[in-house]
Amino acid sequence: MPEDIGYLHAIGLDYGIGFTSVMQWILEHVHVWSGLGWGASIMATAVLLRTLMFYPQIQSLKFNAIMQRMRKDPRSNEAMKLVQQGFQEGDMEKRQRGQVLNKMLRSEYGVSNWGIMWSLAQIPFTFGLFRIVSGMVHIPVPSLESAGFLWFTDLSATDPYFILPAAGTAFMMGALLINAKHTPPQQRKMLKPMMYIFGTVGFVGTTFLSAAVNLMTVALGASTLLTALILNITSIRRSLGLPTGPVDEAPAPQKKIQYEAPRSEAPGLSGLRERLTTSLDDMKKGVSESVSNYTGTYSGTEQEKAERKRREMIRKLEDMRKQQEREQFELKYKSKK
C-alpha cells in the first residue's frame, strides 16, 4: 500500500475528530510532501509544532509578566490576606471582599481569566502527537522497522543504550533552568525539587517507550531549549515587551509567627524521606499560591485546613454543650411544675 495522505487511517489509526487527528493530518502531510522517512518526519512535525506554539508561548510570558506586576500592588496582598483570613476564620464576608478586590485589580491590570489558556495551548497538540506516534508503533507501521538512524534502526523498538531518553530529558531540564531566570523566587524554589522528581520519572518512563516516541521527545526538547535560549536574549525580550531581568517576588502577606522546634536532619533513608516530604510540601504550597494568584481563590495549606477543622470541631462541641445546658435547664424547671 503506498504511503499517501490517508495511509495511517487506512491501516487502522482512526482517532475521530480532535487534536490527535489534527496531528495525524500534519504528520502525514510532512511525510508525503517532504519525502522524509518516518523518523525524520516525526522530528520535523515536533519542531513544526513548537514553531507554531511560539506565539502562544510569548502571550503566556506576557500574561505572567502582567500577573507579577499585579502581585506587586499592595492591594493584591490585601486581597489575598482577606481571602486567607476568611478561609481560616470561616468568615464568608471577608473571603468575598477579598475576591471582589482581586476581581477589581484584574480588571484594572487587564488580566483575563482566559490568559492562562496560552500556557496550556500546546498540551493537547503535544499529547495528540504522542498518541499518533504511539499508535504507529503499536499497529505497527511496517516501514518503521527500517526508518531509524545510527544505533536505533528499528523505530518500533526501545533504545538499547538509553541515549534518546537521556537526551530528551536533558533538553527539557536545560530549558527549565534557562527559563528559571525569569520566574519569581518562589517558583524558582519549586524548580529544584521539580527537576529531580520529574527528571528522574521522565527518564525512567521514557526508557520503556519506543525509539519513535523518544525521537519526538528529543525534537520537542531540543526545540524547547532553543526557544528558551532565543527568549533569553535581552534585545529580543525587550522588543517583545517582556521583562529583561530576574523577576522580584512580590511581598507576601504577613502571617502569624509560629514557633517550630529545631529539627535535626535524620540520616539515611529517614533523612531522604524527610527532605522529599519537605520538597513536595514546598511544591504544593507554591502551586496553591500560584493558583490563588490566578483565580483569586484560596484553598489553604494542610496546616490551615487542620486548624480550621479543629476550630470547627471546638465550635460544634461548644454548641452541643450549650444545647445540653438548655435541655437540662428546661427539664429541671419543667419537672417542678
What string of pLDDT tens digits covers the 337 residues of the chain? Answer: 677 888 888 888 888 889 999 999 999 999 999 988 888 999 999 999 999 999 998 988 888 888 888 888 788 778 788 777 777 777 778 778 887 888 888 888 787 777 788 888 889 999 999 999 999 988 888 888 888 788 888 888 888 899 999 999 999 988 888 887 777 666 666 677 777 788 888 889 888 988 999 999 999 999 999 999 998 888 888 888 887 766 555 454 444 444 444 555 445 555 556 655 665 566 556 555 555 555 555 555 666 667 767 777 887 888 888 888 877 777 776 655 5
What's the whole-model pTM score?
Answer: 0.71
* Domain coverage including residue 316: 304-337
What is the tally of structural domains in the chain? Answer: 1
Residue 115 lies in a domain: no
Q: Is residue 315 part of a domain?
A: yes
Specify the residue for cell string 500546546.
122
The helix or strand, by DSSP H or E, that contains position 187, with its residue range, turns out to be helix 185-206
C-alpha to C-alpha distance for 133 and 156, rounded to whole angstroms: 10
177 occurs within a structural domain: no
Query: 101 in a domain, yes or no?
Result: no
What is the distance between the alpha carbons of residues 143 and 22, in angstroms, rounded to a whole number? 22
Asked if residue 269 belongs to a domain, the reply is no
Residue 337: inside a domain:
yes
Rounded Cα gap, residues 337 and 331, in angstroms: 10
31 belongs to a structural domain:
no
Q: Is residue 98 part of a domain?
A: no
